[in-house]
């Protein structure tokens, strides 16, 4: 408890008028806690961290924490992050996005940031809905679900965000739920240690909209669902495919080495006759 208070005082912005804008029971707060603990354990100073967001409930997250913080446009956070990382590679750049933010309006930026292996840690809070605008279906909403924009059932099939990240070229991909808060903290810590493009998908819950639409009306019920439906990646390997289909595979899914874009660029610049970033 004392440790937690210490972290709150160290990282939350006292000058920001709390309370935050999230609904009570929202999963984003659990993520914020895990993120702060992971950053605290990573050894980076507050001046070294740039925390960026797009638009949506997750977009407000950087407002509350004492880093260099940037709240960008819908879906485009990774483009700003690309500019910041290449302009100043010494900064640790973290981008927090929602599922609609990262894979609908920002889907193109997401796959290209992964393909280029931009040195950015992407944290995608997947609550399977557009919460801030009132519970419309997102690219991760299950097929058939009745939402406020699909009153007769969703005709679209959901993305596998981690699969997308892996195939596009991310060097680190992990998934956790907010129920598995320790795993979440570990996964973010590992992602922060990578030089290249790292992705942590965070299965979260929106009790206000998604919960109501699926019949899981309280955050507690939704988190129990996360607990009961998550399978560790090690165990998932032993399960038959049809049994896995309804499960959430959590853990580290990809961890490989590849030079990050800024490292490649440094080599290119050296080849051109400029050895450092001195202007």
Binding site for another protein (CB under 8 A): 13, 15-17, 46-48, 50, 60, 62-63, 66-73, 76, 79-88, 90-91, 108-109, 112, 265, 268-269, 272-274, 276-279
Provide, rounded to whole angstroms, the least separation between the CB of residue 182 and another protein.
Answer: 28
Closer residue to another protein, CB minimum distance, 11 or 130: 11
Q: In this complex, which beta carbon is closest to another protein, that of residue 112 or of residue 247?
A: 112
In the complex, what is the shortest distance from the CB of residue 108 to another protein, in angstroms, rounded to a whole number? 6
User: Residue 176: in which H helix or E strand, if any?
Assistant: strand 172-177
CA–CA gap between residue 169 and residue 114 (Å, rounded):
5
Separation of alpha carbons 111 and 199, rounded Å: 11
**What is the closest distance, in whole angstroms, from the C-beta atom of residue 127 to another protein in the complex?**
21
Six token digits for residue 66: 């004492």
Contact 174, 187 (CB under 8 A): yes
| Residue closer to another protein, measured from CB, 63 or 148 | 63
Please return the burial class of 7, using the count of CB atoms within 10 Å of its CB with bins 0-12, 13-18 and 19+: middle
Return the SS3 of 185: helix
- The CB-of-88 to another protein minimum distance in angstroms stands at 4
Question: Is 96 within 8 Å of 62 (Cβ atoms)?
Answer: yes
If the CB atoms of residues 42 and 63 are measured against another protein, the closer one turns out to be 63
At 217, give phi and psi (nearest 5°).
-85, -15
Q: For residue 186, what are its two tokens?
A: 């570990």
Nearest distance in Å: CB 262, another protein: 9
Least distance in Å: CB of 4 to another protein? Answer: 22
Give 227 or 269: the residue with its C-beta nearer to another protein.
Answer: 269
Cα gap 4→180, rounded to integer Å: 18
Q: Which is nearer to another protein, 237 or 269 (CB)?
A: 269
- CA geometry: angle 12, 205, 9, nearest 5 deg: 10
Residue matched to tokens 């999230």: 22
């Amino acid at each position: 408890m004392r440790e937690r208070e210490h972290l709150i005082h160290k990282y939350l912005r006292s000058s920001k008028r709390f309370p935050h804008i999230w609904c009570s029971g929202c999963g984003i707060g659990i993520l914020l806690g895990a993120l702060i603990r992971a950053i605290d354990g990573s050894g980076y100073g507050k001046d070294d961290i740039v925390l960026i967001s797009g638009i949506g409930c997750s977009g407000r997250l950087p407002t509350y924490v004492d880093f260099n913080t940037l709240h960008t446009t819908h879906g485009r956070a990774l483009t700003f992050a690309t500019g910041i990382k290449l302009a100043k590679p010494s900064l640790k750049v973290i981008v927090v996005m929602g599922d609609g933010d990262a894979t609908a309006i920002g889907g193109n930026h997401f796959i290209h940031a992964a393909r280029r292996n931009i040195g950015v840690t992407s944290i995608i809070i997947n609550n399977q809905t557009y919460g801030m605008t009132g519970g419309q279906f997102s690219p991760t909403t299950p097929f058939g679900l009745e939402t406020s924009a699909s009153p007769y059932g969703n005709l679209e099939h959901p993305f596998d965000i981690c699969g997308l990240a892996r195939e596009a070229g991310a060097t680190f991909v992990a998934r956790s739920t907010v129920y598995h808060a320790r795993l979440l903290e570990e996964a973010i810590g590992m992602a922060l240690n990578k030089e290249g493009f790292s992705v942590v998908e965070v299965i979260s819950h929106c009790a206000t909209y998604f919960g109501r639409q699926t019949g899981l009306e309280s955050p507690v019920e939704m988190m129990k669902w996360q607990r009961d439906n998550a399978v560790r990646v090690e165990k998932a390997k032993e399960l038959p495919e049809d049994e896995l289909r309804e499960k959430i595979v959590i853990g580290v899914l990809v961890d490989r080495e590849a030079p990050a874009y800024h490292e490649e660029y440094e080599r290119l610049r050296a080849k051109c006759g400029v050895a450092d970033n001195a202007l």
